[in-house]
Amino acid sequence: MTTGGAGHKPRRWIAGAAAVVIVLVIGTSLLVSGVLNGDEPAATVLTTSPAAPPPPVEDWYDLTAYQTVESGDGHETVPSISIGVGKEPFSHGIWGSAGSSANFRTWSTAGRCTRLSVWIRKDAASPQQDGIGQFVIKADEKEATTRQASIVDAPQHVEIDISAVTRLTLLDVRGGRDAHNARGTPKVFCSAPPGRTV
């Protein structure tokens, strides 16, 4: 009995090993077949909530560096401008030379801006020396403020609240023989730029 039992053990071991080999061969064949057919093993997808956008950064933006949505033919951007009897020139100025109400520019502030800052008066280098100019700031279609100045006046700083304004307009009015109008360093305080860069 002992001898007969011992004689069957190698056969059982060989049968078990053969079964393992068959399983491995079949599994490998299926894997190779899947790769050759372009099948990819299922991947575990981890879903995460999208990151919150960074908060808007409020800053001062130079208006002359951004495109307008509307403008007349009398406004010209200049790298610097001297105003009235002021001794120091202002950077990024606007020169108003038309003899009508064509001196204007309109920017799309889209409710993103809260303050406007600008210096106004007549251009000290204007070939004409006469006249009283009007400097109008319009918030949307309403007049926010109007100032007047001659060439002998010192530069005047204007800063106004433009919260919730969607369109901001700078309008200069002068007579045909008057000194040119001038605006120095016009800028707005916004959470995003007031348009595309020029």
The whole-model pTM stands at: 0.71
Q: Where are the domains of the chain?
A: 1-47, 59-190
pLDDT 10s digits, 105-120? 999 999 999 999 999 9
Class of domain 59-190: mainly beta
Take residue 61 and report the two structure tokens written for it.
């933006």
pLDDT 10s digits, 35-76? 445 555 555 555 556 676 666 679 999 999 999 999 998 899
Q: What angle do CA 100, 103, 104 make, to 5 degrees?
A: 130
Among 3-17, 56-70, 136-150, 165-179, the least confident range: 3-17
Tell me what the mean pLDDT of segment 13-38 comes to: 44
Q: Which pLDDT band holds residue 1 (cuts at 50, 70, 90)? A: very low
165's CB contacts (< 8 A; 6+ apart) are 109, 111, 113, 139, 140
Beta-ladder partners of 137: 145, 170
